Protein backbone atom coordinates (compact mmCIF):
# COMPACT_ATOMS: atom_id res chain seq x y z
CA UNK A 1 0.00 0.00 0.00
CA UNK A 2 1.41 3.42 -0.89
CA UNK A 3 2.25 5.89 1.88
CA UNK A 4 -0.43 8.23 0.65
CA UNK A 5 -3.09 5.53 0.80
CA UNK A 6 -2.11 4.62 4.36
CA UNK A 7 -2.29 8.28 5.37
CA UNK A 8 -5.71 8.70 3.79
CA UNK A 9 -7.02 5.48 5.29
CA UNK A 10 -5.81 6.40 8.77
CA UNK A 11 -7.27 9.85 8.43
CA UNK A 12 -10.70 8.30 7.75
CA UNK A 13 -10.16 5.82 10.58
CA UNK A 14 -9.50 8.62 13.06
CA UNK A 15 -13.04 9.89 12.58
CA UNK A 16 -14.42 6.40 13.11
CA UNK A 17 -12.41 6.09 16.32
CA UNK A 18 -13.75 9.44 17.48
CA UNK A 19 -17.23 7.93 17.27
CA UNK A 20 -16.04 4.86 19.21
CA UNK A 21 -14.76 6.87 22.18
CA UNK A 22 -17.74 9.21 22.09
CA UNK A 23 -20.25 6.36 22.46
CA UNK A 24 -18.16 4.67 25.16
CA UNK A 25 -18.02 7.93 27.10
CA UNK A 26 -21.77 8.50 26.73
CA UNK A 27 -22.55 4.97 27.96
CA UNK A 28 -20.25 5.37 30.97
CA UNK A 29 -21.46 8.88 31.75
CA UNK A 30 -25.02 7.56 32.07
CA UNK A 31 -23.82 5.73 35.20
CA UNK A 32 -21.98 8.68 36.73
CA UNK A 33 -22.28 8.79 40.49
CA UNK A 34 -24.02 5.42 40.82
CA UNK A 35 -21.15 4.24 42.99
CA UNK A 36 -20.80 1.11 40.81
CA UNK A 37 -17.40 1.13 39.13
CA UNK A 38 -17.78 -2.31 37.50
CA UNK A 39 -21.16 -1.30 36.05
CA UNK A 40 -19.63 1.91 34.65
CA UNK A 41 -16.72 -0.04 33.18
CA UNK A 42 -19.00 -2.65 31.63
CA UNK A 43 -21.16 0.04 30.02
CA UNK A 44 -18.07 1.60 28.41
CA UNK A 45 -16.56 -1.73 27.31
CA UNK A 46 -19.80 -2.95 25.75
CA UNK A 47 -20.46 0.31 23.93
CA UNK A 48 -16.88 0.40 22.68
CA UNK A 49 -16.91 -3.20 21.47
CA UNK A 50 -20.22 -2.67 19.67
CA UNK A 51 -19.03 0.55 17.99
CA UNK A 52 -15.73 -1.08 17.03
CA UNK A 53 -17.50 -3.84 15.03
CA UNK A 54 -18.17 -1.63 12.04
CA UNK A 55 -14.86 0.26 11.97
CA UNK A 56 -13.23 -0.39 8.60
CA UNK A 57 -10.11 -2.14 9.84
CA UNK A 58 -8.56 -5.48 10.57
CA UNK A 59 -7.99 -4.60 14.21
CA UNK A 60 -6.19 -6.31 17.06
CA UNK A 61 -6.10 -5.24 20.72
CA UNK A 62 -2.43 -5.20 21.75
CA UNK A 63 -2.77 -3.79 25.23
CA UNK A 64 -5.80 -3.16 27.37
CA UNK A 65 -7.05 -3.21 30.86
CA UNK A 66 -9.00 -5.45 33.14
CA UNK A 67 -6.61 -8.33 33.78
CA UNK A 68 -5.11 -6.73 36.89
CA UNK A 69 -8.41 -6.25 38.69
CA UNK A 70 -10.56 -8.77 36.77
CA UNK A 71 -12.71 -6.01 35.30
CA UNK A 72 -14.82 -6.23 32.13
CA UNK A 73 -12.53 -5.81 29.17
CA UNK A 74 -11.64 -5.95 25.54
CA UNK A 75 -9.17 -8.83 25.66
CA UNK A 76 -5.55 -8.47 24.76
CA UNK A 77 -5.30 -10.32 21.44
CA UNK A 78 -9.02 -9.81 20.65
CA UNK A 79 -9.70 -9.16 16.95
CA UNK A 80 -11.95 -6.20 16.28
CA UNK A 81 -13.38 -4.26 13.34
CA UNK A 82 -15.19 -5.06 10.10
CA UNK A 83 -12.15 -7.03 8.89
CA UNK A 84 -11.54 -8.92 12.14
CA UNK A 85 -11.87 -12.31 10.45
CA UNK A 86 -9.55 -11.53 7.56
CA UNK A 87 -5.96 -12.73 7.38
CA UNK A 88 -3.24 -10.14 8.08
CA UNK A 89 -2.12 -9.92 4.45
CA UNK A 90 -5.62 -9.14 3.16
CA UNK A 91 -5.63 -5.55 1.95
CA UNK A 92 -9.38 -4.89 2.04
CA UNK A 93 -8.98 -3.16 5.37
CA UNK A 94 -5.86 -1.72 7.01
CA UNK A 95 -4.23 -3.89 9.70
CA UNK A 96 -4.43 -1.87 12.88
CA UNK A 97 -3.08 -2.39 16.41
CA UNK A 98 -5.10 -0.86 19.20
CA UNK A 99 -4.50 0.09 22.83
CA UNK A 100 -7.71 0.66 24.78
CA UNK A 101 -9.03 1.87 28.06
CA UNK A 102 -12.81 2.11 27.50
CA UNK A 103 -13.21 3.79 30.88
CA UNK A 104 -10.05 5.18 32.44
CA UNK A 105 -10.96 6.16 35.97
CA UNK A 106 -13.82 3.81 36.83
CA UNK A 107 -13.90 5.18 40.40
CA UNK A 108 -13.88 8.74 39.10
CA UNK A 109 -16.97 7.96 37.03
CA UNK A 110 -18.66 6.04 39.85
CA UNK A 111 -18.27 9.04 42.17
CA UNK A 112 -18.64 11.82 39.58
CA UNK A 113 -15.07 13.01 40.23
CA UNK A 114 -12.93 14.82 37.64
CA UNK A 115 -11.02 13.35 34.70
CA UNK A 116 -12.77 10.07 33.87
CA UNK A 117 -12.24 9.44 30.14
CA UNK A 118 -12.93 6.91 27.36
CA UNK A 119 -9.75 6.46 25.35
CA UNK A 120 -7.98 4.47 22.66
CA UNK A 121 -4.91 4.68 20.50
CA UNK A 122 -4.35 2.97 17.16
CA UNK A 123 -1.45 2.50 14.77
CA UNK A 124 -0.34 0.37 11.86
CA UNK A 125 0.49 -3.22 12.87
CA UNK A 126 3.43 -3.25 15.30
CA UNK A 127 2.99 0.46 16.05
CA UNK A 128 2.05 0.06 19.71
CA UNK A 129 3.75 -2.09 22.33
CA UNK A 130 2.15 -5.48 22.89
CA UNK A 131 2.23 -6.21 26.61
CA UNK A 132 0.23 -7.76 29.45
CA UNK A 133 -1.91 -5.60 31.75
CA UNK A 134 0.59 -4.90 34.53
CA UNK A 135 2.21 -1.98 36.34
CA UNK A 136 4.65 0.53 34.96
CA UNK A 137 6.80 3.22 36.56
CA UNK A 138 6.50 6.43 34.55
CA UNK A 139 7.93 9.87 34.11
CA UNK A 140 5.91 12.16 31.81
CA UNK A 141 6.81 15.70 30.77
CA UNK A 142 5.84 18.17 28.06
CA UNK A 143 7.72 19.42 24.99
CA UNK A 144 10.04 21.84 26.84
CA UNK A 145 11.66 19.05 28.84
CA UNK A 146 11.62 16.33 26.18
CA UNK A 147 14.87 14.36 26.25
CA UNK A 148 16.23 16.26 29.24
CA UNK A 149 15.18 14.11 32.21
CA UNK A 150 16.17 10.59 33.24
CA UNK A 151 13.75 8.25 35.02
CA UNK A 152 16.73 6.75 36.88
CA UNK A 153 18.05 10.07 38.17
CA UNK A 154 17.17 11.33 41.67
CA UNK A 155 13.81 13.14 41.84
CA UNK A 156 15.44 16.42 42.96
CA UNK A 157 17.76 16.36 39.96
CA UNK A 158 14.90 15.82 37.50
CA UNK A 159 12.86 18.60 39.10
CA UNK A 160 15.80 21.00 38.88
CA UNK A 161 16.21 20.28 35.16
CA UNK A 162 12.45 20.54 34.61
CA UNK A 163 12.41 23.91 36.36
CA UNK A 164 15.21 25.16 34.07
CA UNK A 165 13.39 23.89 30.97
CA UNK A 166 10.17 25.60 32.03
CA UNK A 167 11.99 28.75 33.23
CA UNK A 168 10.38 28.66 36.64
CA UNK A 169 11.51 27.81 40.15
CA UNK A 170 11.17 24.25 41.46
CA UNK A 171 8.70 25.66 43.99
CA UNK A 172 6.49 26.71 41.06
CA UNK A 173 6.26 23.18 39.62
CA UNK A 174 3.27 20.88 40.07
CA UNK A 175 3.86 17.13 39.87
CA UNK A 176 0.89 14.80 39.57
CA UNK A 177 1.24 11.55 41.54
CA UNK A 178 -1.23 8.70 42.13
CA UNK A 179 -2.20 8.68 45.80
CA UNK A 180 -0.96 5.21 46.72
CA UNK A 181 1.08 3.87 49.68
CA UNK A 182 3.71 2.69 47.20
CA UNK A 183 4.51 6.33 46.46
CA UNK A 184 5.35 7.39 50.04
CA UNK A 185 9.04 7.71 49.24
CA UNK A 186 8.46 9.48 45.89
CA UNK A 187 6.08 11.97 47.51
CA UNK A 188 8.59 12.66 50.30
CA UNK A 189 11.33 13.23 47.70
CA UNK A 190 9.20 15.66 45.68
CA UNK A 191 8.27 17.58 48.84
CA UNK A 192 11.87 17.74 49.93
CA UNK A 193 12.88 19.09 46.51
CA UNK A 194 10.32 21.87 47.06
CA UNK A 195 7.85 21.20 44.23
CA UNK A 196 4.09 21.18 44.69
CA UNK A 197 2.12 17.94 44.32
CA UNK A 198 -1.29 17.09 42.94
CA UNK A 199 -2.26 13.78 44.51
CA UNK A 200 -4.79 12.01 42.30
CA UNK A 201 -6.98 9.04 43.25
CA UNK A 202 -6.90 7.71 39.64
CA UNK A 203 -6.08 8.85 36.15
CA UNK A 204 -2.36 9.14 35.51
CA UNK A 205 -3.12 9.09 31.76
CA UNK A 206 -5.17 12.30 31.83
CA UNK A 207 -2.55 13.79 34.12
CA UNK A 208 0.15 12.92 31.55
CA UNK A 209 -1.83 14.61 28.81
CA UNK A 210 -2.23 17.69 31.01
CA UNK A 211 1.54 17.74 31.60
CA UNK A 212 2.10 17.99 27.84
CA UNK A 213 -0.43 20.79 27.31
CA UNK A 214 0.62 24.32 28.23
CA UNK A 215 -1.51 26.15 30.74
CA UNK A 216 -2.98 23.03 32.36
CA UNK A 217 -1.21 23.64 35.66
CA UNK A 218 0.46 20.20 35.66
CA UNK A 219 4.17 19.99 34.76
CA UNK A 220 5.05 16.32 35.23
CA UNK A 221 3.66 12.94 36.20
CA UNK A 222 5.76 10.58 38.29
CA UNK A 223 5.17 7.13 39.76
CA UNK A 224 3.70 3.71 39.15
CA UNK A 225 0.41 3.24 37.31
CA UNK A 226 -0.95 0.86 34.71
CA UNK A 227 1.02 -0.25 31.64
CA UNK A 228 -1.97 0.18 29.26
CA UNK A 229 -2.19 3.81 30.40
CA UNK A 230 1.57 4.04 29.76
CA UNK A 231 1.26 2.92 26.13
CA UNK A 232 -1.74 5.22 25.65
CA UNK A 233 0.25 8.09 27.17
CA UNK A 234 3.10 7.37 24.73
CA UNK A 235 0.70 7.57 21.77
CA UNK A 236 -0.56 10.92 23.08
CA UNK A 237 3.00 12.19 23.63
CA UNK A 238 3.85 11.49 19.98
CA UNK A 239 1.01 13.82 19.02
CA UNK A 240 1.69 16.46 21.71
CA UNK A 241 5.51 16.43 21.41
CA UNK A 242 5.83 15.38 25.02
CA UNK A 243 7.80 12.51 26.47
CA UNK A 244 7.25 9.40 28.57
CA UNK A 245 9.97 7.22 30.05
CA UNK A 246 8.83 4.00 31.66
CA UNK A 247 9.80 0.68 33.13
CA UNK A 248 7.62 -2.37 33.78
CA UNK A 249 7.00 -3.19 37.42
CA UNK A 250 5.95 -6.68 38.46
CA UNK A 251 3.59 -7.35 41.38
CA UNK A 252 6.34 -8.44 43.77
CA UNK A 253 8.39 -5.34 42.93
CA UNK A 254 5.54 -2.95 43.63
CA UNK A 255 6.11 -2.25 47.29
CA UNK A 256 9.85 -2.85 47.35
CA UNK A 257 12.04 0.14 48.22
CA UNK A 258 13.89 -0.49 45.00
CA UNK A 259 11.40 -1.08 42.18
CA UNK A 260 14.14 -2.63 40.09
CA UNK A 261 14.53 -5.55 42.53
CA UNK A 262 14.75 -8.83 40.63
CA UNK A 263 11.32 -10.41 40.26
CA UNK A 264 10.36 -13.96 41.08
CA UNK A 265 7.13 -13.74 39.11
CA UNK A 266 8.14 -16.20 36.41
CA UNK A 267 4.60 -16.51 35.03
CA UNK A 268 4.37 -12.80 34.16
CA UNK A 269 7.93 -12.88 32.81
CA UNK A 270 6.95 -15.74 30.50
CA UNK A 271 3.88 -13.83 29.27
CA UNK A 272 6.00 -10.75 28.64
CA UNK A 273 8.50 -12.84 26.70
CA UNK A 274 5.72 -14.39 24.62
CA UNK A 275 4.67 -10.86 23.67
CA UNK A 276 8.20 -9.97 22.61
CA UNK A 277 9.52 -8.28 25.77
CA UNK A 278 12.94 -9.81 26.33
CA UNK A 279 14.39 -7.49 28.97
CA UNK A 280 11.72 -6.72 31.61
CA UNK A 281 13.95 -4.16 33.35
CA UNK A 282 14.72 -1.90 30.41
CA UNK A 283 13.66 1.70 30.17
CA UNK A 284 11.08 2.31 27.45
CA UNK A 285 10.86 5.71 25.83
CA UNK A 286 8.00 7.25 23.87
CA UNK A 287 9.09 5.67 20.60
CA UNK A 288 9.58 2.25 22.19
CA UNK A 289 6.06 2.24 23.62
CA UNK A 290 4.48 3.73 20.52
CA UNK A 291 6.87 3.15 17.59
CA UNK A 292 4.15 3.63 14.95
CA UNK A 293 4.34 6.23 12.20
CA UNK A 294 0.57 6.48 11.81
CA UNK A 295 -0.67 7.05 15.33
CA UNK A 296 -4.27 7.93 16.16
CA UNK A 297 -5.21 8.99 19.67
CA UNK A 298 -8.87 9.50 20.57
CA UNK A 299 -10.29 10.40 23.95
CA UNK A 300 -13.65 11.69 25.16
CA UNK A 301 -14.36 13.20 28.57
CA UNK A 302 -16.79 11.22 30.74
CA UNK A 303 -16.74 13.57 33.73
CA UNK A 304 -15.49 17.17 33.58
CA UNK A 305 -11.72 17.27 33.52
CA UNK A 306 -8.63 19.45 33.15
CA UNK A 307 -8.57 19.29 29.35
CA UNK A 308 -12.04 18.06 28.37
CA UNK A 309 -15.57 18.54 29.60
CA UNK A 310 -17.66 15.54 30.58
CA UNK A 311 -20.74 14.29 28.73
CA UNK A 312 -23.74 16.56 29.08
CA UNK A 313 -27.25 15.19 28.64
CA UNK A 314 -30.07 17.52 27.72
CA UNK A 315 -33.61 17.17 26.41
CA UNK A 316 -32.75 17.00 22.74
CA UNK A 317 -29.51 15.03 22.85
CA UNK A 318 -26.01 14.82 24.28
CA UNK A 319 -22.87 16.82 23.97
CA UNK A 320 -19.36 15.41 24.14
CA UNK A 321 -15.91 16.95 24.33
CA UNK A 322 -13.02 15.01 22.76
CA UNK A 323 -9.36 15.17 21.88
CA UNK A 324 -8.59 13.57 18.51
CA UNK A 325 -4.96 13.55 17.41
CA UNK A 326 -3.00 12.03 14.53
CA UNK A 327 0.69 12.01 13.66
CA UNK A 328 0.27 11.71 9.87
CA UNK A 329 -0.76 14.39 9.10
CA UNK A 330 0.11 15.94 12.45
CA UNK A 331 -3.18 17.25 13.82
CA UNK A 332 -4.57 17.96 17.26
CA UNK A 333 -8.33 18.42 17.24
CA UNK A 334 -10.47 19.53 20.15
CA UNK A 335 -13.86 18.24 19.08
CA UNK A 336 -17.11 19.47 20.56
CA UNK A 337 -19.93 17.24 19.26
CA UNK A 338 -23.66 17.69 19.66
CA UNK A 339 -25.43 14.36 19.20
CA UNK A 340 -28.86 15.65 18.21
CA UNK A 341 -31.86 13.51 19.08
CA UNK A 342 -34.58 16.12 19.11
CA UNK A 343 -36.85 17.12 16.24
CA UNK A 344 -36.47 19.87 13.62
CA UNK A 345 -36.95 22.57 16.27
CA UNK A 346 -33.85 21.60 18.23
CA UNK A 347 -31.73 24.63 18.99
CA UNK A 348 -27.95 24.19 18.99
CA UNK A 349 -26.32 26.34 21.66
CA UNK A 350 -22.84 27.76 21.78
C1 LIG B 1 -3.38 3.96 37.38
C2 LIG B 1 -4.46 5.00 37.17
C3 LIG B 1 -5.73 4.38 36.71
O4 LIG B 1 -5.08 2.35 37.81
O5 LIG B 1 -2.95 3.43 36.16
C6 LIG B 1 -3.90 2.91 38.33
O7 LIG B 1 -4.05 5.96 36.24
C8 LIG B 1 -2.88 1.87 38.72
O9 LIG B 1 -3.42 0.81 39.44
O10 LIG B 1 -6.72 5.36 36.60
P11 LIG B 1 -3.82 0.78 41.02
O12 LIG B 1 -5.17 1.44 41.12
O13 LIG B 1 -3.87 -0.69 41.32
O14 LIG B 1 -2.80 1.51 41.80
C15 LIG B 1 -6.13 3.26 37.66
O16 LIG B 1 -6.41 3.82 38.94
C17 LIG B 1 -7.38 2.56 37.10
O18 LIG B 1 -7.18 2.18 35.78
MG1 LIG C 1 -7.31 2.61 33.34
MG1 LIG D 1 -10.36 1.30 32.53
The rounded Å distance from CA 307 to ligand 3 centre is 18
Residue 347 lies in a domain: no
| Residue where a domain stops, chosen among 250, 272, 289 | 289
- Reported as a single tens digit per residue, the pLDDT across 34-62 is 999 999 999 999 999 999 999 999 999 99
ipTM for the whole predicted complex goes beyond 0.90: yes
Lowest mean pLDDT among 28-37, 111-120, 126-135: 126-135
* Chain-centroid distance, C-alpha 199: 18
Indicate if 143 and 244 belong to the same structural domain. yes
Rounded to whole angstroms, the Cα distance separating 79 from 149 reads 37
| pLDDT per position as a tens digit, 176-222 | 999 999 999 999 999 999 999 999 999 999 999 999 999 999 999 99
For residues 155 and 68, state if they share a domain.
no
**Domain encompassing residue 334:** 3-128+293-340
* Assigned domain for 348 exists: no
Contacts of 11 (CB under 8 A, 6+ apart): 326, 329
Q: Does ligand 1 come within 6 angstroms of the Cβ of 310?
A: no
Domain count, the chain: 2
Sign of CA dihedral 52, 230, 36, 300: negative
Burial class (CB in 10 A: 0-12, 13-18, 19+), 207: buried
Q: Is 204 in the pocket of ligand 1 (CB under 6 A)?
A: yes
> Is 72 assigned a ligand-binding role in the annotation?
no
% pLDDT > 90, the chain: 80
CA of 302, nearest ligand number: 3
Q: What is the CA radius of gyration of the chain?
A: 20
In a shared domain, residues 49 and 180:
no
Which pLDDT does position 167 carry in this prediction? Answer: 98
pLDDT at residue number 11: 86
Query: Quick check: bond before 4 cis, omega within 30?
Result: no
Non-local CB neighbours of 218 within 8 Å, separated by 6+ positions: 174, 175, 176, 198, 207, 210, 211, 306
Residue 255 belongs to a domain with what CATH number?
3.40.190.90
Does the structure show a pLDDT above 90 at 3? no
d(CA 129, CA 16): 22
Domain check: are 72 and 161 in the same one?
no
**Average pLDDT of the chain to the nearest whole number:** 93
Would you say residue 206 lies in a domain? yes
Is 191 annotated to bind a ligand? Reply is no
- pLDDT at residue 262 tops 80: no
Q: Do 160 and 285 reside in the same domain of the chain? A: yes
Amino acid sequence: MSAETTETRFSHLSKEFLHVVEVAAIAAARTMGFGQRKQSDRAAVEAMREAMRTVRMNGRIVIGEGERDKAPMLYIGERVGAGAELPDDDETFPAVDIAVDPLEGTNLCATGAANAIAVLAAAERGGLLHAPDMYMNKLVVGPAAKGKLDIDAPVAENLKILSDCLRRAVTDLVVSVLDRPRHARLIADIREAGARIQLISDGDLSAGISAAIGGSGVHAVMGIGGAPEGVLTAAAMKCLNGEIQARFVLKDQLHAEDHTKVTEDSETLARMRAMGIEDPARVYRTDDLAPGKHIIFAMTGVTNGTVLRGVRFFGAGKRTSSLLMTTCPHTVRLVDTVHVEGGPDTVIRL
